[in-house]
Amino acid sequence: MKPAAFDYVVADSIDAAVTALAAAGGEAKIIAGGQSLVPMLNFRLLRPAILVDINRIPGLAFIEETTDAINVGALARHHRLETSPVIAERLSVLAEAMRHVAHLAIRNRGTIGGSLSHGDPAAELPMLALLLDADLDIASPRGRRTVAAKDFFLGALTVDLAADEMLTRIVFPKLRPSTGWGFAEVARRSGDFALAAVAATLTVAEGVIKEARIAMTGVDETAKRAGEAEAMLAGQVLTPGLIDDAIAAVRAGVTPATDLHASSDYRRHLVGVLAGRALAAAWARARGEDP
Ligand SMILES: Cc1cc2nc3c(=O)[nH]c(=O)nc-3n(C[C@H](O)[C@H](O)[C@H](O)COP(=O)(O)OP(=O)(O)OC[C@H]3O[C@@H](n4cnc5c(N)ncnc54)[C@H](O)[C@@H]3O)c2cc1C
Protein backbone atom coordinates (compact mmCIF):
# COMPACT_ATOMS: atom_id res chain seq x y z
CA MET A 1 0.00 0.00 0.00
CA LYS A 2 0.99 3.64 -0.31
CA PRO A 3 0.87 6.06 2.63
CA ALA A 4 -2.00 8.50 3.07
CA ALA A 5 -1.17 12.03 1.87
CA PHE A 6 0.92 14.17 4.22
CA ASP A 7 2.67 17.52 4.24
CA TYR A 8 6.43 17.50 4.61
CA VAL A 9 8.56 19.93 6.62
CA VAL A 10 12.36 19.89 6.64
CA ALA A 11 13.65 21.19 9.99
CA ASP A 12 17.08 22.82 10.08
CA SER A 13 17.33 23.02 13.88
CA ILE A 14 15.96 21.31 16.98
CA ASP A 15 13.90 24.41 17.75
CA ALA A 16 12.41 24.41 14.23
CA ALA A 17 11.52 20.72 14.55
CA VAL A 18 9.72 21.02 17.91
CA THR A 19 8.00 24.23 16.81
CA ALA A 20 6.64 22.38 13.77
CA LEU A 21 5.52 19.47 15.96
CA ALA A 22 3.74 21.82 18.36
CA ALA A 23 2.07 23.79 15.56
CA ALA A 24 0.58 20.56 14.19
CA GLY A 25 -1.27 19.94 17.47
CA GLY A 26 -0.51 16.22 17.67
CA GLU A 27 -0.94 15.52 13.94
CA ALA A 28 2.78 15.47 13.07
CA LYS A 29 5.44 12.75 13.29
CA ILE A 30 9.20 13.08 13.16
CA ILE A 31 10.92 11.12 10.41
CA ALA A 32 14.54 10.14 11.10
CA GLY A 33 15.82 7.01 9.32
CA GLY A 34 12.27 6.09 8.30
CA GLN A 35 12.99 2.37 8.80
CA SER A 36 10.12 1.85 11.23
CA LEU A 37 7.95 4.84 10.36
CA VAL A 38 7.69 4.31 6.60
CA PRO A 39 6.40 0.72 6.89
CA MET A 40 3.79 1.95 9.38
CA LEU A 41 2.77 4.73 6.97
CA ASN A 42 2.58 2.28 4.07
CA PHE A 43 0.33 -0.04 6.06
CA ARG A 44 -1.66 3.05 7.14
CA LEU A 45 -1.16 2.13 10.79
CA LEU A 46 -0.23 5.81 11.12
CA ARG A 47 -1.72 8.72 9.14
CA PRO A 48 0.10 11.86 10.29
CA ALA A 49 -0.89 15.10 8.57
CA ILE A 50 2.73 16.30 8.59
CA LEU A 51 6.15 14.63 8.59
CA VAL A 52 8.91 16.67 10.22
CA ASP A 53 12.22 15.56 8.69
CA ILE A 54 15.10 15.97 11.16
CA ASN A 55 17.83 14.49 8.95
CA ARG A 56 19.23 17.88 7.94
CA ILE A 57 19.63 19.26 11.45
CA PRO A 58 23.38 19.82 11.67
CA GLY A 59 25.47 18.40 14.49
CA LEU A 60 22.99 15.77 15.69
CA ALA A 61 24.86 12.61 14.67
CA PHE A 62 27.80 12.92 17.07
CA ILE A 63 29.48 10.25 19.19
CA GLU A 64 31.67 12.01 21.74
CA GLU A 65 33.59 10.87 24.79
CA THR A 66 33.70 12.91 27.98
CA THR A 67 35.39 12.04 31.27
CA ASP A 68 32.39 10.11 32.57
CA ALA A 69 30.22 9.26 29.60
CA ILE A 70 29.76 8.59 25.92
CA ASN A 71 27.27 11.05 24.45
CA VAL A 72 25.44 10.11 21.27
CA GLY A 73 23.31 12.42 19.12
CA ALA A 74 19.84 11.21 18.22
CA LEU A 75 20.71 11.10 14.51
CA ALA A 76 23.69 8.75 14.88
CA ARG A 77 22.98 5.84 12.52
CA HIS A 78 23.08 2.25 13.72
CA HIS A 79 26.07 1.49 11.48
CA ARG A 80 28.08 4.32 13.05
CA LEU A 81 27.49 2.86 16.49
CA GLU A 82 28.51 -0.54 15.15
CA THR A 83 31.79 0.77 13.69
CA SER A 84 32.73 3.62 16.06
CA PRO A 85 36.16 3.05 17.69
CA VAL A 86 34.95 4.91 20.81
CA ILE A 87 31.93 2.63 21.19
CA ALA A 88 34.05 -0.45 20.47
CA GLU A 89 36.52 0.49 23.20
CA ARG A 90 34.23 1.97 25.87
CA LEU A 91 30.89 0.23 25.30
CA SER A 92 31.82 -3.00 23.54
CA VAL A 93 28.49 -4.60 24.46
CA LEU A 94 26.69 -1.88 22.48
CA ALA A 95 28.93 -2.41 19.44
CA GLU A 96 28.23 -6.15 19.60
CA ALA A 97 24.47 -5.61 19.93
CA MET A 98 24.38 -3.33 16.88
CA ARG A 99 25.55 -6.16 14.63
CA HIS A 100 22.26 -7.91 15.43
CA VAL A 101 20.04 -4.97 14.45
CA ALA A 102 18.33 -5.68 11.12
CA HIS A 103 20.39 -5.71 7.90
CA LEU A 104 23.23 -3.43 6.84
CA ALA A 105 21.00 -1.39 4.51
CA ILE A 106 18.65 -0.68 7.43
CA ARG A 107 21.54 0.02 9.81
CA ASN A 108 22.84 2.60 7.33
CA ARG A 109 19.63 4.62 7.68
CA GLY A 110 18.15 3.77 11.10
CA THR A 111 19.05 6.08 13.98
CA ILE A 112 19.48 5.56 17.70
CA GLY A 113 16.91 8.28 18.37
CA GLY A 114 14.40 6.59 16.07
CA SER A 115 14.86 3.16 17.60
CA LEU A 116 14.50 4.41 21.19
CA SER A 117 11.51 6.63 20.34
CA HIS A 118 9.80 3.81 18.45
CA GLY A 119 10.15 1.45 21.44
CA ASP A 120 9.77 -1.88 19.66
CA PRO A 121 9.48 -4.64 22.30
CA ALA A 122 12.09 -6.77 20.50
CA ALA A 123 14.60 -4.02 19.59
CA GLU A 124 18.16 -4.11 20.86
CA LEU A 125 18.76 -0.42 21.58
CA PRO A 126 16.12 -0.04 24.32
CA MET A 127 17.69 -3.06 26.04
CA LEU A 128 21.14 -1.48 25.79
CA ALA A 129 19.88 1.89 27.07
CA LEU A 130 18.45 0.07 30.10
CA LEU A 131 21.56 -2.05 30.63
CA LEU A 132 23.87 0.97 30.51
CA ASP A 133 21.62 3.22 32.65
CA ALA A 134 21.42 5.79 29.85
CA ASP A 135 19.89 9.24 30.25
CA LEU A 136 17.79 10.60 27.40
CA ASP A 137 17.72 14.34 26.64
CA ILE A 138 14.43 15.59 25.24
CA ALA A 139 13.55 18.97 23.69
CA SER A 140 10.19 20.68 23.22
CA PRO A 141 9.01 24.27 22.82
CA ARG A 142 8.53 24.23 26.61
CA GLY A 143 12.24 23.61 27.25
CA ARG A 144 14.54 20.66 27.86
CA ARG A 145 14.25 17.66 30.16
CA THR A 146 16.19 14.47 30.84
CA VAL A 147 14.59 11.06 31.44
CA ALA A 148 16.35 7.95 32.71
CA ALA A 149 16.00 5.02 30.32
CA LYS A 150 14.32 3.02 33.11
CA ASP A 151 11.44 5.52 33.07
CA PHE A 152 11.21 6.01 29.30
CA PHE A 153 9.79 2.73 27.96
CA LEU A 154 6.15 2.58 29.02
CA GLY A 155 4.71 -0.23 26.89
CA ALA A 156 4.85 -1.77 23.42
CA LEU A 157 5.62 1.09 20.99
CA THR A 158 4.88 3.54 23.82
CA VAL A 159 7.51 5.82 25.33
CA ASP A 160 7.58 8.92 27.52
CA LEU A 161 7.49 11.45 24.66
CA ALA A 162 4.75 14.02 24.11
CA ALA A 163 3.60 14.90 20.58
CA ASP A 164 5.75 18.07 20.57
CA GLU A 165 8.88 16.44 22.00
CA MET A 166 12.04 15.26 20.28
CA LEU A 167 14.78 13.00 21.62
CA THR A 168 18.07 14.83 21.05
CA ARG A 169 20.89 13.10 22.92
CA ILE A 170 21.61 9.82 24.69
CA VAL A 171 24.15 9.83 27.53
CA PHE A 172 25.76 6.47 28.33
CA PRO A 173 27.76 6.59 31.58
CA LYS A 174 31.09 4.79 31.22
CA LEU A 175 31.36 1.32 32.72
CA ARG A 176 33.47 0.89 35.84
CA PRO A 177 36.90 -0.79 35.64
CA SER A 178 36.87 -4.61 35.86
CA THR A 179 33.46 -4.78 34.21
CA GLY A 180 32.91 -7.64 31.79
CA TRP A 181 30.05 -7.93 29.35
CA GLY A 182 28.07 -10.61 27.55
CA PHE A 183 25.50 -10.54 24.79
CA ALA A 184 23.40 -13.40 23.43
CA GLU A 185 20.53 -13.37 20.94
CA VAL A 186 18.45 -15.80 18.96
CA ALA A 187 16.51 -14.68 15.87
CA ARG A 188 14.94 -16.94 13.28
CA ARG A 189 17.10 -15.50 10.49
CA SER A 190 20.03 -13.11 10.51
CA GLY A 191 18.61 -9.57 10.51
CA ASP A 192 15.23 -10.53 11.96
CA PHE A 193 14.03 -9.05 15.22
CA ALA A 194 15.15 -11.15 18.19
CA LEU A 195 12.97 -13.95 19.52
CA ALA A 196 14.85 -13.09 22.70
CA ALA A 197 18.13 -11.37 23.55
CA VAL A 198 20.05 -10.70 26.74
CA ALA A 199 22.87 -8.25 27.51
CA ALA A 200 24.70 -8.40 30.83
CA THR A 201 27.56 -6.72 32.64
CA LEU A 202 29.36 -7.90 35.77
CA THR A 203 31.70 -5.67 37.73
CA VAL A 204 34.10 -7.89 39.67
CA ALA A 205 36.47 -6.91 42.47
CA GLU A 206 38.44 -9.16 44.84
CA GLY A 207 36.97 -12.18 43.10
CA VAL A 208 33.30 -11.38 43.72
CA ILE A 209 30.56 -9.60 41.78
CA LYS A 210 30.18 -6.01 42.95
CA GLU A 211 27.44 -5.11 40.50
CA ALA A 212 25.39 -7.21 38.10
CA ARG A 213 23.20 -5.85 35.34
CA ILE A 214 21.01 -7.98 33.10
CA ALA A 215 18.72 -6.55 30.42
CA MET A 216 16.41 -8.47 28.09
CA THR A 217 14.36 -7.83 24.98
CA GLY A 218 11.72 -9.74 23.04
CA VAL A 219 10.17 -11.27 26.14
CA ASP A 220 7.79 -8.60 27.43
CA GLU A 221 5.91 -5.46 26.41
CA THR A 222 9.17 -3.53 26.62
CA ALA A 223 12.81 -4.31 27.11
CA LYS A 224 13.47 -4.70 30.84
CA ARG A 225 16.08 -5.36 33.51
CA ALA A 226 16.13 -8.60 35.52
CA GLY A 227 16.20 -6.95 38.95
CA GLU A 228 15.80 -10.12 41.05
CA ALA A 229 18.54 -11.98 39.24
CA GLU A 230 20.83 -8.95 39.50
CA ALA A 231 20.27 -8.74 43.26
CA MET A 232 21.05 -12.41 43.87
CA LEU A 233 24.38 -12.13 42.01
CA ALA A 234 25.75 -9.15 43.95
CA GLY A 235 28.48 -10.13 46.43
CA GLN A 236 28.80 -13.65 44.99
CA VAL A 237 31.27 -15.74 43.01
CA LEU A 238 29.66 -16.88 39.75
CA THR A 239 29.30 -20.66 40.05
CA PRO A 240 27.25 -22.98 37.80
CA GLY A 241 24.68 -23.26 40.61
CA LEU A 242 24.36 -19.48 40.89
CA ILE A 243 23.93 -19.19 37.12
CA ASP A 244 21.06 -21.71 37.37
CA ASP A 245 19.45 -19.65 40.14
CA ALA A 246 19.82 -16.46 38.10
CA ILE A 247 18.32 -18.19 35.05
CA ALA A 248 15.29 -19.24 37.13
CA ALA A 249 14.85 -15.65 38.36
CA VAL A 250 15.14 -14.29 34.81
CA ARG A 251 12.46 -16.71 33.58
CA ALA A 252 10.15 -15.86 36.48
CA GLY A 253 10.42 -12.15 35.73
CA VAL A 254 9.15 -12.12 32.12
CA THR A 255 5.75 -12.49 30.45
CA PRO A 256 6.53 -13.26 26.80
CA ALA A 257 3.83 -13.25 24.15
CA THR A 258 3.00 -16.13 21.83
CA ASP A 259 3.09 -15.15 18.16
CA LEU A 260 3.71 -16.67 14.72
CA HIS A 261 7.40 -17.08 15.46
CA ALA A 262 7.53 -18.63 18.93
CA SER A 263 5.38 -19.61 21.88
CA SER A 264 5.50 -17.85 25.22
CA ASP A 265 6.97 -20.97 26.85
CA TYR A 266 9.71 -21.21 24.25
CA ARG A 267 10.68 -17.55 24.68
CA ARG A 268 10.74 -17.93 28.47
CA HIS A 269 12.98 -20.97 28.18
CA LEU A 270 15.18 -19.22 25.63
CA VAL A 271 15.73 -16.04 27.62
CA GLY A 272 17.05 -18.13 30.51
CA VAL A 273 19.51 -19.96 28.27
CA LEU A 274 20.69 -16.64 26.80
CA ALA A 275 21.04 -15.08 30.25
CA GLY A 276 23.26 -17.98 31.32
CA ARG A 277 25.50 -17.49 28.27
CA ALA A 278 25.67 -13.71 28.69
CA LEU A 279 26.56 -14.02 32.39
CA ALA A 280 29.27 -16.60 31.75
CA ALA A 281 30.83 -14.36 29.08
CA ALA A 282 30.64 -11.27 31.33
CA TRP A 283 32.28 -13.16 34.21
CA ALA A 284 35.13 -14.33 31.96
CA ARG A 285 35.74 -10.86 30.51
CA ALA A 286 35.64 -9.20 33.93
CA ARG A 287 38.47 -11.51 35.00
CA GLY A 288 40.50 -10.91 31.84
CA GLU A 289 39.69 -14.30 30.31
CA ASP A 290 38.56 -15.11 26.79
CA PRO A 291 34.80 -15.88 26.98
C1 LIG B 1 13.15 -5.39 7.90
C2 LIG B 1 13.48 -4.64 9.18
C3 LIG B 1 14.13 -5.34 10.19
C4 LIG B 1 14.45 -4.68 11.36
N5 LIG B 1 15.09 -5.39 12.35
C6 LIG B 1 15.41 -4.77 13.49
C7 LIG B 1 16.09 -5.47 14.53
O8 LIG B 1 16.44 -6.65 14.42
N9 LIG B 1 16.34 -4.79 15.70
C10 LIG B 1 15.99 -3.48 15.86
O11 LIG B 1 16.24 -2.92 16.92
N12 LIG B 1 15.36 -2.79 14.89
C13 LIG B 1 15.07 -3.40 13.72
N14 LIG B 1 14.43 -2.69 12.75
C15 LIG B 1 14.05 -1.28 13.02
C16 LIG B 1 15.20 -0.33 12.67
O17 LIG B 1 16.26 -0.48 13.60
C18 LIG B 1 14.76 1.16 12.71
O19 LIG B 1 15.75 1.89 12.09
C20 LIG B 1 14.56 1.80 14.05
O21 LIG B 1 13.71 1.04 14.83
C22 LIG B 1 13.92 3.19 13.87
O23 LIG B 1 14.88 4.14 13.60
P24 LIG B 1 14.65 5.22 12.46
O25 LIG B 1 15.71 6.23 12.59
O26 LIG B 1 14.52 4.52 11.16
O27 LIG B 1 13.25 5.87 12.91
P28 LIG B 1 11.97 6.31 12.07
O29 LIG B 1 11.42 5.10 11.36
O30 LIG B 1 12.25 7.50 11.26
O31 LIG B 1 11.01 6.72 13.28
C32 LIG B 1 10.51 5.74 14.17
C33 LIG B 1 9.61 6.42 15.20
O34 LIG B 1 10.39 7.25 16.07
C35 LIG B 1 10.01 8.63 15.95
N36 LIG B 1 11.26 9.38 16.02
C37 LIG B 1 12.35 9.22 15.24
N38 LIG B 1 13.36 9.98 15.68
C39 LIG B 1 12.90 10.66 16.75
C40 LIG B 1 13.48 11.59 17.65
N41 LIG B 1 14.77 11.99 17.55
N42 LIG B 1 12.71 12.08 18.65
C43 LIG B 1 11.43 11.69 18.79
N44 LIG B 1 10.82 10.79 17.98
C45 LIG B 1 11.56 10.29 16.97
C46 LIG B 1 9.24 8.73 14.64
O47 LIG B 1 8.30 9.79 14.69
C48 LIG B 1 8.57 7.38 14.58
O49 LIG B 1 7.43 7.35 15.41
C50 LIG B 1 14.11 -3.30 11.54
C51 LIG B 1 13.47 -2.61 10.51
C52 LIG B 1 13.16 -3.26 9.35
C53 LIG B 1 12.47 -2.50 8.25
52-87 per-position pLDDT tens digit: 999 999 999 999 999 999 999 999 999 999 999 999
The Cβ of residue 162 has, within 10 Å, a number of other Cβ atoms equal to: 13
Distance CA 150, CA 135 (A): 9
The Cβ of residue 26 has, within 10 Å, a number of other Cβ atoms equal to: 12
**Computed from CA positions of residues 40, 119, 99, 170, in that sequence, does the dihedral angle turn out positive or negative?**
positive
211-220 per-position pLDDT tens digit: 999 999 999 9
Cα 7 to ligand 1 centroid, rounded to whole Å: 20
Distance CA 242, CA 222 (A): 26
Query: For the whole model, what pTM was predicted?
Result: 0.98
- For residue 36 and ligand 1, the question of a CB distance below 6 A is answered with yes
What average pLDDT score do residues 231-253 get? 98
What average pLDDT score do residues 10-21 get? 98
- DSSP per-residue letters across 141-208: TTEEEEEEHHHHEEETTEES--TT-EEEEEEEEPPPTTEEEEEEEE-SSTTSPPSEEEEEEEEEETTE
Tell me the H-state helices in the chain.
14-23, 37-42, 78-83, 85-90, 92-98, 104-109, 112-118, 124-131, 149-152, 227-233, 240-252, 264-286
Angstrom distances, CA of residue 133 to CA of 64, 75, 278: 17, 20, 18
Distance CA 30, CA 139 (A): 13
Angle, vertex CA 104, rays to CA 268 and CA 271, nearest 5:
10
- Band (1; pLDDT cuts 50, 70, 90): confident
Percentage of the chain beyond pLDDT 90 is 99
Distance CA 282, CA 291 (A): 8
Contacts of 163 (CB under 8 A, 6+ apart): 21, 24, 25, 26, 28
Distance CA 68, CA 58 (A): 25
What average pLDDT score do residues 242-248 get? 98
What average pLDDT score do residues 15-38 get? 98
Beta bridge partners of 135: 148, 171
| β-bridge pairing 196-205 and 208-217 | antiparallel
Q: Whose CA is nearest to atom 5 of ligand 1?
A: 102
- The pLDDT assigned to 211 comes to 98
- At 265 the three-state DSSP class reads helix
- Band (147; pLDDT cuts 50, 70, 90): very high
Q: Whose CA is nearest to atom 39 of ligand 1?
A: 114
Atom of ligand 1 nearest to the CA of 165: 43
Cα 19 to ligand 1 centroid, rounded to whole Å: 22
Cα 209 to ligand 1 centroid, rounded to whole Å: 35
What average pLDDT score do residues 189-213 get? 96
124-140 per-position pLDDT tens digit: 999 999 999 999 999 99
